[in-house]
Chain A
Amino acid sequence: MQRVGVFVCWCGSNIAGTVDVQAVSEALKSEPGVVFSANYQYMCSQAGQDMIKEAVKEHNLTGIVVCSCSPRMHEATFRKTAAAAGINPYMVEIANIREQCSWVHKDIATGTEKAIILGKAAIAKVNLNTPLTPGESPVTKRALVIGGGIAGIQTALDIADAGFPVDIVETKPTIGGKMAQLDKTFPTLDCAACILTPKMVDVAQNEKIRIFSYSEVSEIKGFVGNFDVTIKKNARYVKEDICTGCGACVEKCPMKKVPNEFNLGMDNRSAIYIPFAQAVPKVATIDPNACNMLKNGKCGLCARVCTAGAIDYTQKDEYINEKYGAIVVATGFNPISMDKFDEFAYNQSKDVITSLEFERLTNAAGPTAGHLERPSDGKSPKTIVFVQCVGSRCDACAEKGKEYCSKICCMYTAKHAMLTRDKYPDTEVYVFYIDVRTPGKNFDEFYRRAVEEYGVKYVKGMVGKVTPEGDKLKVQASDLIANKQLHIDADLVVLAAAIEPDKSARPLATMLTASMDTNDFFTEAHPKLRPVESPTAGVFLSGACQGPKDIPETVSQAGAAASKVIGLLAKDKLTGNPCVAHSNELMCNGCSSCEKVCAYGAITYENKEFRMPDRTTKIRRVAVVNPAVCQGCGACTVACPSGAMDLNGFASNQIMAEVDAICK
């Protein structure tokens, strides 16, 4: 039998206001196992903790019940107190008589009665507690960053700066992501490439960073501190270490009509290509769907012109295995498809474009060398209509669009409108908006400048339809302030398309067993207090994979994620949570029910030899829990049909004892 001490906290008037604490400590005195019971104003204070320590010594306590606030609040505090008093920290139980009792009741009699019952349950449980010791696991001191946009780049640089090796895996042939495609950045109008490419070069030159470009993560096993990852390096048919990036092959390639994805299909590239001048790594890649040599063996021109001898048509996909201590997800975003928005005639007219396409049209390295020309006929547009919230802020039941605000569109549209008026002052620029959202440093000032200094016409209302007619786009829209319907003959219509997480995010989340929301954004461990950590231990979030973000926010989150990774990698050993599942192998029948419900991949099976009553031996398949991976959720204990699975600290008999105590 345990020797239990009960400590009832007043929490000032938080508990004592609705619960008669004196009556609770008196009532719990006569419970089985209880040898000491007291109450105090603030149990969590130093004096309160000292009271626990003294009682442990004086009464030789082996178990402690604290009737106080939620265990989320102070369980760790009282476990430390117990350890300091010389008893196992897992011999402490908390009865939550604040959040689940005093705060929700108004009547003292009811509150007191419930507090006594909750206390009895905790006492019944602690009587069955056993001392637990957390296990330890080593930490592989290397981080993996998935995604090489500005989020991944910044995270990798910060981790490398602390001295830990980092690998970046990027699906595209170069790092840089969306920011590399942008022209200017709001609200300061720095040229995006001018501030991004030095960082890309830093990544390339950093000895601690390896870049796996044109690669993807194909398998993830293991757990925090010990991830085992398989990276698939897609064959680029060019030897990366030999190619000098001279571009001779690109020039000579006869297949020049491949839509250029970097310019969003607004111009063409060759079958062998380098995405853009400042690409990192600056290495050519052959597009197997376009290359004649790879498709039918007829050509081979690039191999002939390559003086370095880097072309290798026989290259195969390569699989690399590496161990990591931490994984950072930085998979970013894409604008949504405009296919379902027929009213804006995106698929009918080349002159209806998305904002990202507009970025390329105004970029000096873009398809028009920075001259604002209509994609259809190359004429300079005289009237431009910008439409905001295309596919953002839609109803959850709507068949198209996203429920959330894409956050970045208000600012980039103001930027586009302002820059157009600055460079081409005779252009008429309309922006149709529902709300203009500018919460950010110098953001509203920027938007007001677009209106007041640059004369951009902001119209409160929405565009209803766009009809191509001749070389014009007939725009029908509402002006809600004037209560008028407007008809504008536009030359160019720019749609601020909603953004969504990259398609690779969901399969990746499955591999990582990391949780996502209904929009496929990764979920953070706590929306306010743990914003860069996934609930899955050892997985961190950086950039727009967690939610729409602009560049300054992405960079600060990237740094925050890096600091969490550094904090993890700096440890030599990780202390686990001992409240994990374990299987009684004598009862386990190897049915795999537990494995199927385990969200963390913590359960495996092994064939074990058992001695039978008739002195023979038999090999049986039994479940084994990896305590470093198990999160103690208890799903397996419920799924197990034979009752072999049990959870340390929350054993079935303990929970039944609690229920009995409550129902008595």
Chain B
Amino acid sequence: MNNQYLREELIRQSGVNPKKCMKCGKCSATCPAYDEMEYHPHQFVSMVESGDIEPLLQSESLYKCLSCFACIERCPRGVEPAKLVEAVRLSAIRKQGENRMTANDVPALLDEDTPQQLLVSAFRKYSK
């Protein structure tokens, strides 16, 4: 797959316009999973924009993102880095050709302590 094609695909799927980024780094400043990640939220934005996507697809960082959306909430430019991380993740998972989680798995995971947002995010992460 051509990088440029993948870049366009990721931008289309996520609805994120990486050109809006002013490189302030607030997304990475706010990220609670920062130390776990090889590539940080601001790098996702700049690497997708420059078409340097292969390293992201190979990186464990994809699965370290908590989908907490703090970066989306705090970004002063409305870039929404987490959506881009999710788009890259989807494209990696789709290549693997397997569904990690189905709707049937959800009830078993429900308990009082688990925030529902986490399940929704997990479902979204692993179902497509």
Contact = CB atoms under 8 A, between A and B. Distances in A.
Interface string B57-84: 0000000000000100011111100000
B98 interface: no
B25 A478 contact: yes
A563 B27 CA distance: 48
Interface stretch (B28-36, B85-93, B107-115, B116-124): B28-36
A72 B8 CA distance: 45
Interface of B: 20, 22-31, 34-35, 40, 42-43, 70, 74-79
A394 B20 CA distance: 10
Contact of A434 (B24, B34, B70, B79): B24
A395 interface: yes
Contacts of B75: 395
Contact of A462 (B26, B34, B35): B26
Contacts of B25: 434, 460-462, 478-480
Contacts of B77: 393-395, 398
A465 B26 CA distance: 9
A483 interface: yes
A389 interface: yes
B49 to A, nearest CB: 15
Interface in A477-492: 477-480, 483, 485
Interface in A392-408: 393-395, 397-398, 401
Nearest to A395: B78
Given A478-B42, A480-B42, A485 B28 contact: yes
Contacts, number: 69
Contact of B74 (A393, A434, A464, A485): A464
Sort A-B residue pairs by CB-CB distance and give the 5 closest, nearest first. Answer: A464-B30, A464-B29, A395-B78, A462-B26, A478-B29
Contact of B23 (A343, A465, A480): A480
Contacts of A389: 24, 76
A485 B26 CA distance: 10
Contacts of A401: 76
Given A389-B24, A461-B24, A483-B40, A343 B30 contact: yes
Contacts of A238: none
A476 interface: yes
A343 B74 contact: yes
A395 B76 contact: yes
18 contacts: A389-B24, A394-B77, A395-B20, A395-B76, A398-B76, A434-B23, A461-B25, A464-B30, A464-B31, A464-B70, A465-B29, A478-B25, A480-B25, A480-B42, A483-B43, A485-B29, A485-B34, A485-B35
Nearest to A343: B74
Contact of B29 (A393, A395, A398, A477): A477
Nearest to B79: A395
B18 to A, nearest CB: 13
Contacts of A464: 26-31, 70, 74
B22 A393 contact: yes
Contacts of B76: 389, 393-395, 398, 401
Interface of A: 343, 389, 393-395, 397-398, 401, 434, 460-465, 476-480, 483, 485
Contacts of A485: 28-29, 31, 34-35, 40
Contact of A476 (B20, B29, B43): B29
Contacts of B28: 461, 464, 478, 480, 485
A343 B31 CA distance: 12
A462 B78 contact: no
Nearest to B78: A395
Contacts of A465: 29-30, 74
A343 B30 CA distance: 9
Contacts of A483: 40, 43
A401 B26 CA distance: 15
Nearest to A462: B26
A10 B100 CA distance: 74
B47 to A, nearest CB: 12
A518 B87 CA distance: 35
Contacts of A477: 29
A485 B35 CA distance: 8
Contact of A398 (B35, B70, B78): B78
Nearest to A391: B76
Given A461-B24, A464-B70, A483-B40, 6 more contacts: A395-B78, A434-B22, A461-B29, A462-B29, A478-B42, A485-B35
A463 B23 contact: no
Nearest to A392: B76
Contacts of B29: 461-465, 476-478, 485
Contacts of A343: 30, 74
Nearest to B37: A485
Contacts of B26: 462-464, 478
Contacts of A398: 76-78
A397 B20 CA distance: 12
Nearest to B34: A485
A464 B31 CA distance: 8
A613 B48 CA distance: 81
A543 B10 CA distance: 46
Contacts of A460: 25
Most buried by A among B24, B27, B29: B29
Contacts of B70: 464
Contacts of B43: 483
B39 to A, nearest CB: 10
Nearest to B71: A464
A485 B75 CA distance: 16
Contacts of B30: 343, 464-465, 476
Contacts of A478: 25-26, 28-29, 34, 40, 42
A475 to B, nearest CB: 9
A461 B42 CA distance: 11
A461 B31 CA distance: 13
B20 to A, nearest CB: 6
A462 B29 CA distance: 6
Contacts of A479: 25
A397 B35 CA distance: 30
Given A483-B40, A485-B34, A397 B78 contact: yes
B31 to A, nearest CB: 7
A119 B34 CA distance: 69
A465 B22 CA distance: 19
A483 B46 CA distance: 13
A434 B40 CA distance: 17
Most buried by B among A389, A463, A476, A478: A478
Contacts of A395: 20, 75-79
Nearest to A434: B24
A434 B76 CA distance: 11
B77 to A, nearest CB: 5
Most buried by A among B22, B24, B34, B42: B24
Nearest to A486: B29
Nearest to B29: A464
Contacts of A462: 24-26, 29
